[in-house]
Amino acid sequence: MARIALDLAHSYLRNPQRDEDYALLPLRMTFEDGGAYALLGPSGCGKTTLLNLVSGLVSPSQGTVTFGERDVTRQSPQQRNIAQVFQFPVIYDTMTVAENLAFPLRNRGVPADRIRQRVGKVAEMLELSGQLDLRASGLAADAKQKISLGRGLVREDVSAVLFDEPLTVIDPHLKWQLRRKLKQIHQELALTLIYVTHDQVEALTFAQQVVVMTRGRAVQVGTASELFERPRHTFVGNFIGSPGMNFLAARCSGRGIEVAGHTLQMPAPAAALSAAGEFTLGVRPEYVSLAAADDPAAVPAKVVQRQDIGTYWLLTARCGEALLRARLDPESAVPGLGEQVWLKVVGPHTCYYGRDEELIAGAERVAEVPA
Amino acid sequence: MKPVNQKAWLLILPVVLCVAFSAILPLMTVVNYSVQDIISPERRVFVGTEWFKSVMRDEDLQGALLRQMTFSLAVLLVEIPLGIALALSMPAKGWKSSAVLVLVAISLLIPWNVVGTIWQIFGRVDIGLMGAALAALGFDYSYTGNASDAWFTVLLMDVWHWTPLVALLCFAGLRAIPDAYYQAASIDGASKFAVFRYIQLPKLRGVLMIAVLLRFMDSFMIYTEPFVLTGGGPGNATTFLSQYLTQKAVGQFDLGPAAAFSLIYFLIILLLCFILYNWMQRVGTADKTGAGHG
């Protein structure tokens, strides 16, 4: 086990010219030993490529992969001692469940009594003990995927266990169980786990650190609360959260800022905003609140939709060109359709983005959640 | 009582008619011949199972049957492993793959009697490439004079002609295996042999079953190629069942025994295919503990 460091770029084309030719743009990243990471992003963002680069199924077209002090860039998955679980369950049809679990150990010449011990332990962890002597091909999809997981966990000395959307084929209620199981296993075995998913709930509940990716770039690495409070890129703001962050075009004018033809007071990070001139104001629906008319931190808007989501009201209002979404307390008086309201958008949780969509100033502090 | 809807009978009538005219009625005429002694178109005598008894006692026929079994077994033992090996070594992608596919399929496109003629010339000691080469190497090779040479040549011809079919079926089967299996095997540290034994071979089970049945049935009914190549000789060393049957039915016009034997022939193929199919269905699917039959 060791920390995994990446400093690479990858293209599946032989002669990449433009940024679009790269599956993965130049990036530098480290996965600490024993950490639980999630790679989160929409389909085609390069997360599976990144995972295969770590496991060694793919060699990077540029740069290096190092495990601790060891350069493993050209090494096979076997030499890197990686375990990987795939999206669809892979099982060996002719073997029993026990033989399936033992396969990675047997290939490495582990003594038989040690194999029995490990298989017994992993089967117990995954609740497969009762099915050890059954032929694996006859089992249901979730049991098969548990076998795949088990094959990933059966070796104790692996550098890391990688998961490529492993719960896609699993029923929702079992998904929940298996995810908890994985988290528990992570705590028990202290393995480095890297988990690829496009489901933010899955990523945020599973991992200590989430890597958000889009179009071949890792735009932010952080804890769930960092991603929520201080998205480093508008993509993260939009992708994380349900619904995503509100964005309003804004520019400095005189002593305040102008948003949708309305002048607001200058927010706290005044120097950074003045330097940028034009910028985008981002505020999460959770932090948009109703305000009194002519509040210097609020903009006027017209309600176009109101939805009862059960635990909150989702209010959609038009402010100039943009739509603003707000999550309102069900207890509060919710304005009716077509009503003119004032919505507070500047506050301690508001973030500001430059023209390159990168964060220039944001929420001052992020609540630390114990890992 | 619930009224029974009899309309289904009407709907399967076209199939029944088709099968009746294409299979059942012709078969019935054979059954008809097999229990009669036809002396002339006007005179026929019912003889019961006499023809069946006499063909079963026929030593020539027993010899042909034994040769036929040996031949089909040899064909399967050579062509199936060779076909798998060929499929494994064929390139999977790109223009090379297409080129190899076309090359491999060529022998399947040649009419069967032409295959016989090709090998007849190929094996000639005076002008044939193989025959002359063997003679030059000092072998006393003659497929017309020596029974084992004739056997060798007929078997080699069948292997040349039909192994590509097995290879193409296996190639298609191999391409259908998802990449994830190979990736998982590489992560699990499986050797090349383990990949073959635990992934490729089990995934080929379906196509191999088709390949074995096809090759068994075809080789069991082989007629044209050995007829052209050796004419069943030397002696009757390469006279297989269908040729023996043709001699009886067309050559000697013994319709009764020929019909009786046709039916026995048909039942042998049916029985052996049934046994093969069931055996292959069970291989690799039964639970090892004997419990939990799916």
The answer to whether residue A108 is domain-embedded is: yes
The answer to whether residue B7 is domain-embedded is: no
Q: Does A368 touch chain B (CB under 8 A)?
A: no
Residue A331 tokens read as: 């207890």
Q: Of B187, B198, B287, which to mutate for an interface test with A (greatest number of A Cβ within 10 Å)?
A: B187
Inspect the interface and report whether the beta carbons of A107 and B194 lie closer than 8 Å.
Answer: yes
Condensed to tens digits (0 to 9), the pLDDT of residues A190-199 reads: 888 898 988 8
- Kind of pairing between the strands at A24-31 and A160-164: unpaired
Residues A18 and A114 in one domain: yes
Residues A257 and A309 in one domain: yes
Residue A69 tokens read as: 């002090």
CA distance A119 to chain B (A): 14
The answer to whether residue A368 is domain-embedded is: no
Output the domain CATH number for residue A196: 3.40.50.300
Q: Of B188, B204, B281, which to mutate for an interface test with A (greatest number of A Cβ within 10 Å)?
A: B188
Residues A267 and A198 in one domain: no
Q: Which pLDDT does position A369 carry in this prediction?
A: 45
Residues of chain A with pLDDT under 50: 367-371
Distances in Å between the Cα of B17 and the Cα atoms of B6, B26, B27, B74 are 18, 13, 14, 39
Q: Does A107 touch chain B (CB under 8 A)?
A: yes
Q: Is the ipTM of this complex over 0.85?
A: no
Residues A276 and A333 in one domain: yes
The answer to whether residue A239 is domain-embedded is: no
Question: What are the E-state strand segments in A32-119?
Answer: 36-40, 62-67, 70-71, 82-85
Condensed to tens digits (0 to 9), the pLDDT of residues A40-70 reads: 888 888 888 888 888 888 888 888 888 888 8
Q: Which residues of A touch B287 (CB under 8 A)?
A: 96, 133-135, 138
Inspect the interface and report whether the beta carbons of B181 and A90 lie closer than 8 Å.
Answer: yes
CA distance B162 to chain A (A): 29
Q: Which residues of B touch A138 (CB under 8 A)?
A: 287, 292, 294
Q: Does A157 touch chain B (CB under 8 A)?
A: no
Cβ under 8 Å to B: A residues 51-80 = 55, 57, 76-78
Residues A222 and A249 in one domain: no
Q: Which pLDDT does position A30 carry in this prediction?
A: 87
The answer to whether residue B243 is domain-embedded is: no
Residue B258 tokens read as: 């020929």
The answer to whether residue A236 is domain-embedded is: no
The answer to whether residue B270 is domain-embedded is: no
The answer to whether residue A249 is domain-embedded is: yes
Q: Of A229, A263, A283, which marks where a domain is finished?
A: A229
Residues A300 and A201 in one domain: no
Task: List, in sequence order, the alpha helices (H) in A126-250.
Answer: 141-153, 172-189, 200-206, 224-229, 234-239
Q: Which of A77, A88, A151 sits opposite B186 (nearest CB)?
A: A77
Q: Of A229, A253, A277, which marks where a domain is finished?
A: A229
Inspect the interface and report whether the beta carbons of B187 and A84 lie closer than 8 Å.
Answer: yes
Residue B104 tokens read as: 């491999």
- CA nearest to A131 within chain B: B292
In sequence order, the β-bridge partners of residue A85 are A163
- CA nearest to B178 within chain A: A90
Inspect the interface and report whether the beta carbons of B287 and A93 lie closer than 8 Å.
Answer: no
Q: Which pLDDT does position B1 carry in this prediction?
A: 62
Q: Of A229, A262, A278, which marks where a domain is finished?
A: A229
Number of other CB atoms surrounding residue B63 within 10 Å: 14
Residue A243 tokens read as: 């619904």
Output the domain CATH number for residue A320: 2.40.50.140
The answer to whether residue B89 is domain-embedded is: yes
Q: Of A94, A108, A148, A164, which to mutate for an interface test with B (greatest number of B Cβ within 10 Å)?
A: A94
A·B CB contacts under 8 A: 72
Residues A173 and A303 in one domain: no
- CA nearest to A91 within chain B: B181
Contact A5, A65 (CB under 8 A): yes
The answer to whether residue A237 is domain-embedded is: no
The answer to whether residue B257 is domain-embedded is: no
CA distance A107 to chain B (A): 6
Q: Give the domain extent around B101.
A: 69-224
Residues A290 and A174 in one domain: no
Condensed to tens digits (0 to 9), the pLDDT of residues B15-45 reads: 999 999 998 898 888 888 888 887 777 888 8
Q: Which of B188, B190, B287 sits opposite A134 (nearest CB)?
A: B287
The answer to whether residue B54 is domain-embedded is: no
Residues A255 and A357 in one domain: yes
Q: Of A49, A101, A103, A153, which to mutate for an interface test with B (greatest number of B Cβ within 10 Å)?
A: A103
Residues of chain B with pLDDT under 70: 1-2, 284-294
Q: Which residues of A touch B292 (CB under 8 A)?
A: 134-135, 138
The answer to whether residue B274 is domain-embedded is: no
Residue position matching structure tokens 């990987």? A84
d(CA A245, CA A33): 33
Inspect the interface and report whether the beta carbons of B190 and A148 lie closer than 8 Å.
Answer: no
Look at chain B and report how many structural domains it folds into.
1
- CA nearest to A103 within chain B: B188
In sequence order, the β-bridge partners of residue A37 are A194, A209
The answer to whether residue A79 is domain-embedded is: yes
Look at chain A and report how many structural domains it folds into.
2
Residues A19 and A42 in one domain: yes
Residues A193 and A255 in one domain: no
Q: Give the domain extent around A349.
A: 244-361
Output the domain CATH number for residue B149: 1.10.3720.10
Residues A110 and A157 in one domain: yes
The answer to whether residue A61 is domain-embedded is: yes
The answer to whether residue B36 is domain-embedded is: no
Measured CA angle at B180 (ends A2, B193), to 5 deg: 90
Helix axes B50-57, B59-89, angle to 10 degrees: 70
